[in-house]
Amino acid sequence: MTKVLVTGAGGQLGKTIEKLTQDYANINFFFTSSSDLDITKASVIEKYFKEYNPDYCINCAAYTNVEQAEKEPEKAFSVNAEGVRDLSLVCKEYNTLLIHISTDYVFDGKKARPYTTEDTPNPINEYGKSKLVGEKYIQQILKKYFIIRTSWLYSKEFGKNFYKTILEKAKTEKEMYITTQQTGCPTDAENLAVYMISIIENNTEKYGLHHFCDGEAMTWYDFAKKIILENKLTEQVKIVEAKNYRTFARRPEYSVLRN
C-alpha cells in the first residue's frame, strides 16, 4: 500500500485531502498538523519520516498571510523557504517523492495573458519571494518532485478564505465593497486535492513544475458576486466595485495561471 505523509494538514487543503481519503482505499495517509510536524525543525521532520517512511509527502505547510509577511518576512522565509529546504533534504534521504504547493504570487502580474510554467517568476511581495525560494530549493535538492502552483485557493468547508469570509459578512452587511483591480483563478481546494491524489494513484504525470487552477479567470469582485449568487443571497446583500483599493502588501494585478 502506498504511504503518503501530509504536512500542514490542519489547513483548508489538508483537511480537504483528509475528507477525501475514504475514496482511496489503496493509499495509506498520515496527517500531521504544523503543531505536530513543524517543518522549521529539521529534527522533527526526521522523526516523522523515520516513523512513517512515506512514499510521498504532500506539503501543505506554509506561511500564507500575505499582509503579515511584509512585516515579518523572516517568519515567511523560515517556513516557505528554509523549512521547504529541510523537508526536501529529508525527502531525498528517504527516497520520498515530494508534492509541494506553490502560488501564483511568484509572478509580478504585468502580463496580459495566462502565465505558463515557462514564464520567469518575479514576485513583488515577501510572501511570493519566500515561496519562490522554496521552489528553487526543491529544484536544487531533488531530481524528482512535483511543484504545483495554484491560485486563490478556497474551501467551502474548511479554514479561513475569501469564500467563507463573504458568506460570513453577508450575515451582517447589506453592502460589500470588493476590488476589481486583481484578476486570477479562484480554485476549489477539493479540485486541487483530487488532482494531487490522482498524481499518486495514476503515477503518469510528468515530474517537475505544474500549474493547477480552476479554469475561470475573474476579479475578486466577480468572485464575490458569484458566491452571493450561488448561495442565493442576491436580495440580502449588494456587491459594489471598490475603486483605488489599497493593501499593505503589493499584489499582482493579473495572476491567471495556464494549466
The domains found in the chain, sorted by start residue, are 2-156+186-214 (3.40.50.720)
Nearest to 255 by CA among 94, 103, 52: 103
Q: What is the DSSP letter of 234?
A: T
Task: For residue 233, list its beta bridge partners.
Answer: none
pLDDT per position as a tens digit, 38-85: 999 999 999 999 999 999 999 999 999 999 999 999 999 999 999 999
Q: Which of 200, 197, 199, 230 has its CA nearest to residue 16?
A: 197
Q: Cα-flanking dihedrals φ and ψ of residue 172, to 5°?
A: -125, -15
Backbone angles phi, psi at 10, to 5 degrees: -80, -10
pLDDT of 235? 86
pTM of the predicted model, to two decimals? Answer: 0.95
pLDDT of 22 above 90:
no
Instruction: Round to whole Å and give the CA distance between 249 and 69.
Output: 8
pLDDT for residue 130 is more than 80: yes
Q: Which residue has the cell 495509506?
A: 28
User: At residue 213, does pLDDT exceed 80?
Assistant: yes
Pair 28, 1: CB distance under 8 Å: yes
Who has greater pLDDT, 100 or 234? 100
At residue 142, the pLDDT reads 99
At 54 the pLDDT is: 98
**Residue closest to 148 by CA, chosen among 131, 130, 126:** 131
- The residues annotated as belonging to the active site are 127
